[in-house]
Amino acid sequence: MSTNTDTVADRFATAGAQIDPVTALTALALVAALGFTLAFLQEPLVHEALHDFRHGAGIVCH
């Protein structure tokens, strides 16, 4: 997209410079929360309601 001579390290460096840590952490926390809820939450109501999805996606805590 931008240049063809980029390396992976460059991409990480630019991302680190452009996005401040708080934003990155917030985004990461949101993603983790979503992933946790979908895949691991054992609370019976949630577990029952997501039952079919977890079976279908082959997630371990069905």
- Contacting another protein (CB under 8 A), which of 20, 25, 29, 35? 35
C-alpha closest to that of 37 among 58, 56, 55, 54: 54
Q: In a 3-state reduction of DSSP, which class is residue 54?
A: helix
**Region 3-32 residues binding another protein, contact defined as CB under 8 A:** 6-8, 10-12, 14-15, 18-19, 23, 31
* Torsion on CA atoms 20, 26, 30, 31, rounded to nearest 10: 30
Site residues for another protein per CB under 8 A:
1, 6-8, 10-12, 14-15, 18-19, 23, 31, 34-35, 38-40, 42, 44-45, 48-58, 60-62
